[in-house]
Amino acid sequence: MSVEVNDAPTDTAVASRHGLDLHGLSPARPVHWNLSPARLYEEALRRGEGRLVHMGGFATVTAPTTGRSPNDKYTVREPSTESDIHWGKVNVEVTPEQFDGLRAEVVEHLNSHELFVRDARAGLHPEAGLDVRVVTTNAWHNLFAYNMFLRPSAEELEEHRPRFTVLHCPELQVDPEAHGIRSHTFVVVNFQRGEVLIGGTRYAGEIKKSIFSVLNHLLPGHGILPMHCSANVGDDGDVALFFGLSGTGKTTLSADPERGLIGDDEHGWADDGIFNFEGGCYAKVIDLSPEGEPEIHQATQKFGTILENVILNDADRSIAFDDGSITQNTRASYP
């Protein structure tokens, strides 16, 4: 179906009837809604966002930012969060006025760029899942959101109304002094507005981790424990959880050919069981080999997989997994 959004040209698979005006956006350039991976490949290659990889993956470089920026994360301090968050060096506060100032620049930036919209869901639990929307200026970041979040049906997409929206401007450079923040990179969560602002970083992990932070705050109120862990299940229904910081082997341990994968990074523990927050995996792939991690290696050889900051062999565009010259934090995102 084709839907007009604020008079801007639209290219869409299925678009929600709740358009970008819901977020105060009036884009002057084309808007692409919920495109398929193949269409996103075409757009990303057309726009020079990355390169095609041997066996079908898509490689892109996020440098100079090749990992998450923990010192550039902020939460708006307002009545709904005042007493629920332990404010300090980890949970850094900004005022509603600071948020509004950053948001004005984000909206201006988005309105002047071609946009890619992804409607999705975080959390497989039927009663505690979160409807999300990602609005970004890059096709490959939209593909990342497709890979990493749960993918609604066409019927669900038509009625999709996000509870949380990520306004994603990876190329936007703001003046940190003008906004009272540490650097030009920012990830700001506003629970009252149901929005996340991301700017100044192309590292895609910020998209998924920002929604994970939102779920960490919301789900305990539903009696659900959010967990940073991977999980798999045996034939008899026995579940194993693997806890650890990023890059410590959670994905590797959960990718067991003898057990079913629940997920590799973010889960909830409810009264009725363990459930995945995500619809894909985000594996660290430095020194990856088919012998050591066969299932993850196989996933990197498929169409739809995003390879972040890997080095490609010039001759055949195969991946040099042992080359960490851009970063040791090379990543693969796949559904």
Q: List pLDDT tens digits, range 93-133.
A: 999 999 999 999 999 999 999 999 999 999 999 989 999 99
In a domain, 85, yes or no: yes
What pLDDT does residue 6 have?
Answer: 36
Of 16, 65, 230, 251, the catalytic one is 251
Does the residue 291 lie in any domain? Answer: no
Give me the catalytic one of 16, 103, 265, 284. Answer: 265
Residues 209, 267, 284, 297: which is the catalytic one? Answer: 209
- CA dist list (Å): 27 to 10, 104, 112, 148: 10, 14, 6, 26
User: What average pLDDT does this structure show over 217-223?
Assistant: 96
Q: Is 250 helix (H, G, I), strand (E, B) or coil?
A: helix
What range does the domain containing 207 cover?
A: 10-49+69-222
127 exposed, middle or buried (CB, 10 Å; 0-12, 13-18, 19+)?
exposed
Which one of 26, 69, 213, 246 is the catalytic residue? 246
Cβ proximity of 190 and 165 under 8 Å = no
Is residue 246 part of the annotated active site? The answer reads yes
Tally of domains within the chain: 1
pTM of the model: 0.94
Q: Is 300 a catalytic residue?
A: no
Q: Is residue 307 part of a domain?
A: no
Residue 64 belongs to a domain: no
**Is 283 a member of any domain?**
no
> Residue 252 catalytic?
no
Please write the tens of the pLDDT for every residue from 140-175.
999 999 999 999 999 999 999 999 999 999 999 999
Q: Is the dihedral of CA 22, 23, 26, 32 positive or negative?
A: negative
Q: Identify the sign of the CA torsion 295, 239, 207, 287.
A: negative
Q: What single letter denotes the amino acid at residue 177?
A: E
Known catalytic membership, residue 68 = yes
Measured between alpha carbons, how far is 333 from 26 in angstroms, rounded to an integer?
A: 31
Residue 59, pLDDT > 90, answer yes
Question: What percent of the chain has pLDDT above 90?
Answer: 94
pLDDT (0 to 100) of residue 13: 76
Please give the pLDDT value at position 247.
Answer: 78
In a domain, 188, yes or no: yes
* Residue 151: CATH number of its domain: 3.40.449.10
Whether 250 sits among the annotated catalytic residues: the reply is yes
**Catalytic site residue 302?**
no
Whether 331 is catalytic: yes
